[in-house]
Amino acid sequence: MRKLFWLAVLGIGAMSLMVLPLGLAAGGSATADTSSTATGAPGLNPVLAQAYQQAATRAPERVPACTGMTWQILAGVAQVESNQAAGHTIAADGQITPPIIGPALDGTGTGGNTTAVRNGTGYAHALGPFQFMPATWAADGINARGTAAAPDVQNAFDASLTAAVYLCGKGRDLTQATQLHDALYSYNHSEAYVAQVEAAITQFQQLPTTAAVPASGRAAVVIAAALAERGIPYSWGGGNAHGPTRGICCSQGGQDGSKVIGFDCSGLTLYAYAQAGVTLPRLAADQAAVGRRIPASAGLSALRPGDLVFFGLIPGDDASIYHVAIYEGGGMMLEAPRPSENVKSAPVWSYDYAGGAAVL
């Protein structure tokens, strides 16, 4: 295996679980919106958007027989690998700080890794927004910036072009579902990984058609209430109808919420909706039973600002829902994501999306 990926352990809402991939059947031809550009895609960092777009355009220069490379493919891979470098600063030249370093690949199962990979005297770590193994980067890394500097795995432009060329192989047609599958499988030998990236690609393909609808009435009240809490810490079990509170002990990730005043995911939604006169149950899975359910198959275009947005481990099984957020519009949501992070606006996750609920 030339490439390994890792998944973050999340401490979210009423549960703290390893994020697991959704199954996704692929067949026939893959559709790609080659007319759209990454620039301005809802929730996508503009520097990353530029890097993906540039890499998709330049990949055929390196692999002339490669067709069908799009920014959505690269965004889909980066979504699964590093959640679009979430929590890191991306400079205009593409440099990412602090560096993105995956967990030690010691074979203990952290991040889904069960095979030890050594690097010198210690264990290797996957690196950068596309989580390249050091040996893979040393062999295939490309400087995309037109300088004499060595390729930098922590640079968005270098990493994006390297990933694009790697996925192109010797000349794949990535508009064909089977060849896209093979490209992703070559990146990581896991059918679950391929399914998760395919789902992310599909969602990025839908983003340009996801128009932001202005919030009004009680939806505007809910969104304004959640927006006002941005920057408030995550607290396991924290939050009620009156605002942030001390939480409880302890999340599976080890956070003692009783020492933090803040919100967990369902505490934030409970509070925001209470400001509009709506009482929600405390747990994320129970909130899915309120209002008109919007199936995941309907896509983001079926959501309206103020709707609840859910994420679950088993498609169609609301009991498996582990995270809830408030749809802000334009592919964005307001959420209390996990321990060590604050309430924020973020793109609707492409993985484990379980639809929404129109409550108002």
The pLDDT tens digits for 6-39 are 333 333 333 222 222 222 222 333 433 444 666 6
Q: Would residue 249 show up in a list of annotated catalytic residues for this protein?
A: no
Residues 253 and 115 in one domain: no
Of the residues 198, 265, 328, 341, which is catalytic?
A: 265
Residues 221 and 204 in one domain: no
β-pairing, 89-90 vs 96-97, is antiparallel
Residues 228 and 154 in one domain: no
**Model confidence over 147-181: pLDDT tens digits?**
899 999 999 999 999 999 999 999 999 999 999 99
Spell out a b/e string for 199-224, using b for 16 or more CB atoms within 10 Å of the CB, else e.
Answer: bbbbbbbbbbebeeeebeebbebbbe
Q: Give the residue with greater pLDDT, 252 vs 118.
A: 252
**Model confidence over 49-73: pLDDT tens digits?**
899 999 999 999 999 999 999 999 9
Q: Of 326, 89, 104, 124, whose CA–CA distance to 229 is shortest?
A: 326
Of 209, 230, 256, the last residue of a domain is 209
Cα(350)–Cα(54) distance, integer angstroms: 22
Residues 281 and 138 in one domain: no
Number of structural domains in the chain: 2
In a domain, 136, yes or no: yes
Q: Of 281, 277, 284, whose CA–CA distance to 325 is shortest?
A: 284
Residues 203 and 228 in one domain: no
> Can you read off the two tokens belonging to residue 1?
């295996």
In a domain, 268, yes or no: yes
Q: Give the residue with greater pLDDT, 218 vs 34.
A: 218
Name the strand (E) or helix (H) holding 288.
none
Q: Is the peptide bond before 250 cis (omega within 30 degrees of 0)?
A: yes
Of 176, 193, 209, the last residue of a domain is 209
Residues 236 and 289 in one domain: yes
Of the residues 81, 198, 328, 335, which is catalytic?
A: 335
45-54, 80-89, 100-109: least confident range? 100-109
Predicted confidence at residue 44, as pLDDT, reads 77
Q: Compute the average pLDDT of residues 188-195.
A: 90
In a domain, 121, yes or no: yes
Question: Is 320 in a helix, a strand, or coil?
Answer: helix
Q: Of 109, 108, 165, 106, whose CA–CA distance to 132 is shortest?
A: 165
Predicted confidence at residue 269, as pLDDT, reads 98
Q: Is the peptide bond before 305 cis (omega within 30 degrees of 0)?
A: no
Of the residues 81, 125, 198, 323, which is catalytic?
A: 323
In a domain, 8, yes or no: no
Residues 320 and 270 in one domain: yes
Residues 163 and 135 in one domain: yes
Q: How far is CA 154 from CA 72, 84, 97, 124, 130, in A?
A: 20, 13, 8, 16, 9
Cα(314)–Cα(249) distance, integer angstroms: 26
For all residues of the chain together, what is the average pLDDT?
Answer: 84
Of 162, 193, 209, the last residue of a domain is 209
Domain that holds residue 325: 217-358
Residues 150 and 169 in one domain: yes
Q: Which amino acid is at 4?
A: L
Predicted confidence at residue 43, as pLDDT, reads 65
H helices present in 112-260, as ranges: 134-140, 156-168, 177-187, 191-206, 217-227
In a domain, 11, yes or no: no
Question: Is 18 in a helix, a strand, or coil?
Answer: strand
pTM of the model: 0.58
In a domain, 87, yes or no: yes
In a domain, 13, yes or no: no
Q: Would residue 265 show up in a list of annotated catalytic residues for this protein?
A: yes
Assess contact for 359 and 273: CB atoms under 8 A: yes
Residues 186 and 224 in one domain: no
| Alpha carbon 274 to its chain's center | 28
In a domain, 25, yes or no: no
Residues 276 and 184 in one domain: no
